[in-house]
Structure 1
Amino acid sequence: MIDPLAEVVTLLQPAANFSKLVHGASPWHISRSDAGQPFYCVILEGGCRISIDGYEPIELLSGDFMLIPAAYGVAVSSLEAPPPGSETQSPVALGNGEFRIGPPDSPINARMMAGHCSFGSPDAALLVSLLPRFVHVRGERRLATLVQLVREESREQRPAREVVLSRLLEVLLIEALRSTAGTDASPGLVRGLSDLRLAAALRGMHERSAHAWTVAELAKEAALSRSTFFERFSRAVGVAPMEYLLRWRMALAKDLLRRSQGRIAEIAQRVGYSSASTFSVAFTRHVGRSPSQYARDGQAAED
C-alpha cells in the first residue's frame, strides 16, 4: 500500500542546514524572516512562546515539538514577555553549536534545540503546499531523540554523513507529520489522512494516479456522498479534491521529467492524461513551461 505522506516527504529530498542548542534566560525575544526555509524546534526544558505570521501565538512547553515546513515570519520569546519596546541582545555563541539568549545576569530557565533544513526538490513549493502550515506535537520523546541524532550527525564529519542526515530528516519529518493525527493540525495532507474516510480517497489518488478520477468516484472510495465528501475534503486538506489531485500529478510529472523517465506521451499516461497534448496543455498552464522545455532545463542544470 502506497503511503501518501512518505511519498511527499521522499520527493522533497530534505537536507540538513544547521541545528543548535539554545539556552534562554527570561525575558527575551527574537524574530527572524526566512525565505520559506523549513524550521523545527524541540523544547528540552522550560518553555517559550512562538508566533507565526497569520496565527495566534502558541505556547511551547517541555517536550513539545514544532515544525514549520515553510517559515517566513517567525518570532520566539520567553514565557515571561519582555517589557514593551525593550530589545533583546543577539544570542551569544558558547561554542560547540550552543547559544545563550537573554540578560547575562538572569538564570537559564529554558533550553531548546532548533534548526533549519532545506528541501532539495526543485518542486518543493508545490509539495510543501500539500502539508500543514505548521505542526505542533506535544509529548513525543521519539521526536526529541531524532532531533538529537540530527544535531550530533550534523556536527560530525563521519563517512556517509550526508546520506545518514537525509534519511534521519526524512524520518523526522514523517514522524512529526504523522504524530499530528487527532490534533488541531492546520489544513493539509496530514489532517486529511487523520480522517479515515478521506484517507481512503487520498490513498486511491496516490496508488492510482493514472486513473481518470472524478469527485463522484473519490467520494465512493471515502463512502461519503459527493457533496459531503467535497466539503469535508476541502475543509481538511485546504484545497478541493481535484485541485489536490492536479498538484500531486504535476509533482509526479516534474519528478519523472527531471529523471528522464520515459517520453512525454508515456509520462502523460502515468500521471492520468489520455494524450501528450492534453498533458502538455495542463502542465504548461500549471508550471509555466512545456514538459519538453522543463525536461531540457533540468538536464542543462545537471550538466
Structure 2
Amino acid sequence: MHTKAVPTQTPVGRNFFLPAGSTVKLSTTDLNNLMQALDIDVIALTEVLVPHGHRVEMGMIDVPGIHYNLSGVGRISINGGPEMPLSPHLLIIVPPNTPFTIEVDGGSGGPPKLMSRDCWTRQDGILRVAVPNEQPEIVQICGFFNASFGQSVRLFGELREPVIEQFEPADQIDLKLREAMEELLQQEVGAGAMTASLFKQIIVSLVRRSLKSSRRWIERFSILTDRQVTRAFADMVARPGAAHTVQSLAHSAGLSRSAFMARFSDIFGRSPMAILRDLRMRQAAIDLTTTTMSIDVVAQNAGYESRSSFVRAFRKAYERDPSDYRQIAKEGNARKAI
C-alpha cells in the first residue's frame, strides 16, 4: 500500500500527506481494536435554537465539536468559508479552534440578526442558545469532546477540514445526543461514563458510514493513513502490556526497523516507545480505578516487570503514586454517590 509520500491538496496530519493516488484500506481487526480502545471525554454540550431572521456565532474551542441538526433548514459557514445548507439529520464534525456561524433567513428580506449574549443560558453543564419567546427554525445539538488513545494521541486533533455526513432518522443519532444531554442534566452516578459511551457510539457510526461511503473521511487522519504503521499501532493499543519492542512492532508492520521508526515518528510526532508508555499508563490508570488488583499486578499488566520502574513512570505521567491515584478516584466516586 505504501508509496513515497508526495504533497497533495489534502493535508491529513502533522507534516504528513496522503500518497498520491493511494487508497487506505485498514483491516477490520485493526479498526475494531482502535474503536474498542478509543477514550471519549465530553467537554461540553450546547443546544442551539435559531429562529427565522437570526444567526448565531460560536467561538473557538480547543477541541473538536459534533454538530447535529435535529430539525429545520438554514445555513452554516465554518471558519469563514462558503455557506452550506443545513437540513435535518446532517452531522458535522468541526476541527478544533474553528469558529462557525449558523443562520436562518427571515421574512423581511434583510440580513439575519445576530443573537446576543443575552440569548445564552447555562444549566448543569448544558449551554442553551435561544431567543426568548421566539419559535426556533433550526434546532441543533453541539457536543465538544476529545477522542484519544492514551494521553498523547488524539483521533481528531490533527483534523483540518470538517467531516460532513447525512444521516437518517433510523440511525438514531438524535436520540443518543438527547440522551447525553439528559444524562448531564440529571447528574446521576456514572453520568460522565454514560455520556462518553453515547458519544463513542456516534463516532463508531461515523466510521461505519465512512467505510461504505465514496468519501472516506477516515483517510484525513494521519494515524489512519499508513496501513502498515496503523497495524502496529492497533496492536499496541490492543495489547499495551505485551513485550513490544521497536523490532517486534516493525515486524508487525512488515517494515524494516529504520523505515518503521521514520514513518511512525512522521505520523505521531513521537517515538513508538514513547507512545507505548502512554498507552501503558492509560491501562494502569484503568486497572487502578476499576479493579482491586494489587499494585504489583497492575504493573505487570501494564508491561512492567519492576514495581519501582512502574511507580516512577506512573508518577511522571500522573504526578502522583499509583496508590494515591487509586485512593483519590475512590473518594471521588464516593462523593458522587452521596
Aligned to 2:217: 183
Q: 2:37 aligns with which of 7, 12, 22?
A: 7
Distance in 2, Cα, partners of 1:221 & 1:58:
44
Where in structure 1 are there 5+ consecutive unaligned residues?
81-85
Number of aligned residues: 273
Distance in 1, Cα, partners of 2:169 & 2:276:
30
Distance change (3 Å), C-alpha of 1:192 and 1:75: closer
- Is 1:196 the counterpart of 2:227? The answer is yes
Q: 1:131 aligns with which of 130, 155, 177?
A: 155
Where in structure 2 are there 5+ consecutive unaligned residues?
1-28, 105-111, 121-127
Aligned to 2:319: 288
Distance in 1, Cα, partners of 2:57 & 2:246:
46
Distance change (3 Å), C-alpha of 1:196 and 1:74: closer
Aligned to 2:198: 168
Aligned to 1:90: 116
**2:309 alignment partner, SS class:** helix
1:49-107 deviation digits (Å, cap 9, x = unpaired): 223xxxx86865547533368x5x44212599xxxxx99332758xxx78469xx9xxx
Distance in 1, Cα, partners of 2:312 & 2:74:
54
8 A contact 1:39–1:114 mirrored in 2 = no
Distance change (3 Å), C-alpha of 1:7 and 1:250: same
Distance in 1, Cα, partners of 2:103 & 2:325:
48
Aligned to 2:252: 221
Identity between Structure 1 and Structure 2 (%)? 21
Distance in 1, Cα, partners of 2:276 & 2:203:
22
TM-score, normalization: structure 2? 0.62
Distance in 2, Cα, partners of 1:144 & 1:128:
35
8 A contact 2:45–2:141 mirrored in 1 = no
Deviates more, 1:217-226 or 1:231-240: 231-240
Cα-Cα RMSD: 4.5
Aligned to 2:142: 115
- Is 1:207 the counterpart of 2:255? The answer is no
- Is 1:233 the counterpart of 2:264? The answer is yes
Deviation (angstroms), 1:196: 2.5
8 A contact 2:42–2:143 mirrored in 1 = no
8 A contact 2:37–2:149 mirrored in 1 = no
Aligned to 1:66: 92
Distance in 1, Cα, partners of 2:82 & 2:310:
43
8 A contact 1:40–1:68 mirrored in 2 = yes
**1:274 alignment partner, SS class:** coil
Distance in 2, Cα, partners of 1:290 & 1:165:
29
Distance change (3 Å), C-alpha of 1:256 and 1:302: same
Deviation (angstroms), 1:7: 1.8
Deviates more, 1:267-276 or 1:229-238: 229-238
TM-score, normalization: structure 1? 0.68
Aligned to 2:175: 149
Aligned to 2:59: 32
